[in-house]
Amino acid sequence: MTPEQKSFQAALAERLRQRARTMLAGETQVLKQLAQARTEILTILAGLPSDYQQWQLSLLVGQITEVLDGATGRAGALFDTTARDIWQQGEDFIDKPLAVIGRAVELQLPLLDTRVLTAMRSFGQLRLKDVGREATSKIGAQLSQVTIGARPVQDAVRAIQAQLAGPTPVRATTIVRTEVGRVFAVASEDRLEQAADLVPELQKQWRRSGKIHSRWTHDLMDGQVVGARESFKVPNPGGGFDMMKCPHDPQAPAEQVINCGCVALPTMKGWQVMTPGAKPFTKKELQLDGRKAALDQAAKRAGRRREGG
């Protein structure tokens, strides 16, 4: 690998670390809002009389709705800030490494179309509001059961506590991770295609996330290199291939993008990429996911994956 390539790879690695920090901070901030809401709601429930006949259900649900609406509203604002930051990082993911090797394109290219960012920001905020509405509906159902005497107060409180500790924050985290990842992917893809006008040898390489339980189709795609404006080929269980411009492609079906951690790395035609072909699975991946062990052996037999995973 030439010094030029090493400088480019180092700049990419730093941008990926920045991306990871931003995404983690966004998820953490959103979870903090929901944890605060959970505390407030459980405090409200703790102050209720044990006799279900004394409950004023509409008033109670109204209080809980207000708490959750406030929490998801603040979470949406935090998502919005994170999306703005990660959009710029997606653009820089192409510009900065190219600048390091003397291919300054930043001042020569037009700004990315921020209407796309605006749409993605709005979509993410609406989805987070849906998390609050769904939680309110389920909590209301639990309280209704108490009101008609169908279940004890404490059973309902435990069910509500479980809802606020499990499904609600998990869904919110999934939304933030997926939508912030999409913003970064779209910005970097759009910038890569712009930059290809000035740097025609630009290409992109699909890299898997390295998560233990990842999509087998994305594991098979790992290492695939295509032109800047070309699409990656996604293996289809039904036979043939689907096409994706980038990880988190807005045109891809939901099952290909939810919680995806893959990334498309810019590279140059003729360069030796950091890991040619598919990246070896780690020992932990092979131990904890039998499917990966089977894929690994099949890929090695076909000559598509190196030994050493």
- DSSP letters spanning 221-274: HTT-EEETTS-EEEE-TTSSEEEESSTT-TTS-HHHHTT---EEEEEETT---S
Taking the CA atoms of 141, 144, 148 and 151 in sequence, report the sign of the dihedral they define: positive
Strand partners, 234: 242
Assigned token pair, 268: 């140059």
pLDDT attached to residue 163: 92
Q: Kind of pairing, strands 241-244 and 232-235?
A: antiparallel
- Tens of pLDDT, residue by residue over 50-69, are 665 555 667 788 889 999 99
Q: Where are the domains of the chain?
A: 1-199, 203-309
Is-contact 54 87, C-beta < 8 A?
no
Cα separation, 252 vs 238, in Å, equals 16
- Scored b (16 or more CB within 10 A) or e, 157-187 reads bebbeebbeeebbebbbebbbbbbbbbbbbb
Cα–Cα distance for residue pair 87/283, rounded to 1 Å: 34
The torsion region of residue 89 among left (phi > 0), alpha (psi -120 to 50) and beta comes to: alpha
What pLDDT does residue 304 have?
A: 59
pLDDT at residue 167, as a whole number: 92
What is the predicted pLDDT for the residue at 279? 76
Structure tokens at 90: 């997606």
Q: What does each C-alpha distance from 203 to 179, 216, 268, 297 come to in angstroms?
A: 24, 24, 5, 29
Q: What is the pLDDT along the chain (309 residues), one digit of tens a residue?
A: 789 999 999 999 999 999 999 999 999 999 999 999 999 998 888 876 666 555 566 778 888 999 999 999 999 999 999 999 999 999 999 999 999 999 999 999 999 999 999 999 999 999 999 999 999 999 989 888 877 778 787 888 889 999 999 999 999 999 999 999 999 999 999 999 999 999 999 999 999 988 888 888 898 888 899 999 999 999 887 777 788 999 999 999 888 999 999 999 999 998 876 555 677 888 888 888 888 888 777 777 766 555 444
* Best CA proximity match to 261, nearest among 222, 306, 204, 296: 222
Q: Under the phi-then-psi rule, with left for phi > 0, alpha for psi from -120 to 50, and beta for the rest, what region is 269?
A: beta
Name residue, tokens 């594991």: 219
Phi, psi of 289 (to 5 degrees): -135, 100
- Residue 256's alpha-carbon distances to 53, 193, 234, 253, in angstroms, are 49, 22, 9, 6
CA distance 261 to 182: 10
**HSE (side-chain half, CA atoms, 13 Å) at 263:** 22
Half-sphere exposure of 250 (CA within 13 A, CB side): 16
- In whole angstroms, how large is the CA radius of gyration of the chain? 24
Predicted local confidence at residue 308, as pLDDT: 46
